[in-house]
């Protein structure tokens, strides 16, 4: 084999590998709608601004929808499909989403607004990516250029939602493995966890820490004692599991780096939050310290990790469809 043939073959193999590992980078584009729906970003943002007037937590809720969508069948809008027609099991009814995921009405309002301006053009999957960026930015966090061109999936995967989305009671090792399964590393994990700088969590997602942690008969030792007392008051042992608590008590509706400062003070709300700092020997500790001390570093990392997450296995080209109603597959 000549050296030229060998180098061409090597280049081809490398290109194929690169495309396989990063299938979307070549296909998603920041200018995807520049001629077909040039005002897409401002339309999304204005609907969210309107929603924020009456619901301060909607920004966090919309950001979470993009995360819960991308971790199941990629960023394909499958989370938005209601049960009915060919959708026998909706992802909305999976454990991580049932009576928890919210903001679907705002997604529908965004879709209606976009259909009025650019009918049949913008996918529901792209709406979730755009809504997450607008929500973070409106909350005081970073802005980034959203890559676009995702198409909408034709199926939902409830069992995938039950197994692939990290649970708030899991070990750091398990959560790290779930991120790795979709091509995200520990920097992505720590940065994206920082989205818990705004929003709320129900008592049922962390009350195992408050009284009888891991069968010890005592609270989670990594919980700050005065914070523990507050949480026990909000979430008494036989109280409602649905009571809402601020994920970041210091600035509950602002996107900032206080989340990481809270972790340094043992004031992470979820087990999976505090584990980032309190798991002995973990590579996540130095990243938490960096983000706690340097909000700019956090914002830059968060923006990049959101782009990385938005690149998880999108449908592009002629795959899937552009849903006309985000809740159902076309023609159903």
State the DSSP code for 14: H
Catalytic status, residue 68: yes
Task: Determine the Cα–Cα distance for residues 22 and 166; give it in Å rounded to an integer.
Answer: 22
For residue 176, the tally of other CB atoms under 10 A from its CB is 21
Query: Cβ atoms within 10 A of the Cβ of 14, count?
Result: 10
Structure tokens at 47: 């609907």
Annotated binding residue 197? yes
Query: Which of the following is catalytic: 6, 22, 66, 68?
Result: 68
Strand residues in the chain grouped as ranges (E): 200-202, 244-246
Please, are residues 129 and 66 in contact by the beta-carbon 8 Å criterion? Answer: yes
* Tokens 């959101």 belong to residue: 306
How far is Cα 127 from Cα 226, in angstroms, rounded to an integer? 41
| Residue 166 assigned as binding residue | yes
User: Does 152 carry a binding-site annotation?
Assistant: no
Supply the DSSP string of 267-301, one letter for each residue.
--SSHHHHHHHHSTT-THHHHHHHHHH-HHHHHHH
Residue 126, annotated as binding a ligand:
no
23 annotated to a ligand binding site? no
Q: Say whether 72 counts as a known binding-site residue.
A: yes
Task: Flag whether 248 is marked binding.
Answer: yes
Residue 39 CB burial class (10 angstroms; 0-12, 13-18, ≥19): middle
> Annotation-wise, does 325 bind a ligand?
no
55 marked as binding residue: no
Residue 76 annotated as binding site? yes
| Helix 124-138 and helix 104-117, axial crossing angle in degrees, nearest 10 | 110
Cα–Cα distance, 305 to 187 (Å, whole number): 8
Other CB atoms within 10 A of residue 240 CB: 11
Asked if residue 44 belongs to a known ligand binding site, the reply is no
Based on the number of CB atoms within 10 Å of its own CB, is 17 exposed (0-12), middle (13-18) or buried (19 or more)? exposed
Tokens of 188: 């992505």
| Binding-site sequence positions | 69, 72, 74, 76, 78, 91, 166, 196-197, 248, 256
| Binding-site sequence positions for heme b | 196
Just list the catalytic residues.
Answer: 68
| Binding-site sequence positions for substrate | 166
């Amino acid at each position: 084999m000549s050296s030229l043939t060998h180098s061409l073959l090597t280049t081809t193999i490398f290109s194929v590998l690169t495309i396989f590992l990063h299938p979307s980078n070549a296909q998603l584009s920041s200018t995807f709608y520049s001629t077909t729906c040039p005002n897409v970003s401002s339309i999304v943002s204005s609907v969210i601004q309107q929603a924020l007037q009456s619901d301060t937590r909607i920004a966090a809720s919309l950001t979470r929808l993009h995360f819960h969508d991308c971790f199941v069948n990629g960023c394909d809008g499958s989370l938005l499909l209601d049960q009915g027609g060919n959708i026998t099991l909706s992802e909305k009814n999976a454990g991580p989403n049932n009576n928890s995921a919210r903001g679907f009405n705002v997604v529908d309002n965004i879709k209606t607004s976009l259909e009025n301006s650019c009918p049949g053009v913008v996918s529901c999957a792209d709406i979730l990516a755009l809504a997450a960026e607008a929500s973070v930015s409106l909350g005081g966090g970073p802005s980034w250029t959203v890559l676009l061109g995702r198409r909408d999936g034709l199926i939902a995967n409830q069992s995938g939602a039950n197994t692939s989305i990290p649970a708030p009671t899991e070990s750091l090792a398990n959560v790290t493995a779930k991120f790795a399964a979709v091509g995200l590393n520990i920097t992505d994990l720590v940065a994206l966890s920082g989205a818990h700088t705004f929003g709320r969590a129900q008592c049922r997602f962390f009350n195992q820490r408050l009284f009888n942690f891991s069968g010890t008969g005592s609270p989670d030792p990594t919980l700050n004692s005065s914070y523990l007392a507050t949480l026990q008051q909000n979430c008494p042992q036989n109280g409602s599991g649905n009571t809402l608590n601020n994920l970041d008590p210091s600035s509950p509706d602002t996107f900032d780096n206080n989340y990481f400062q809270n972790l340094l003070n043992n004031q992470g709300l979820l087990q999976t939050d505090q584990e980032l700092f309190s798991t002995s020997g973990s590579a996540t500790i130095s990243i938490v310290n960096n983000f706690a001390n340097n909000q700019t570093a956090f914002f830059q990392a968060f923006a990049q990790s959101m782009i990385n997450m938005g690149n998880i296995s999108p449908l592009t080209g002629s795959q899937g469809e552009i849903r006309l109603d985000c809740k159902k597959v076309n023609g159903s």
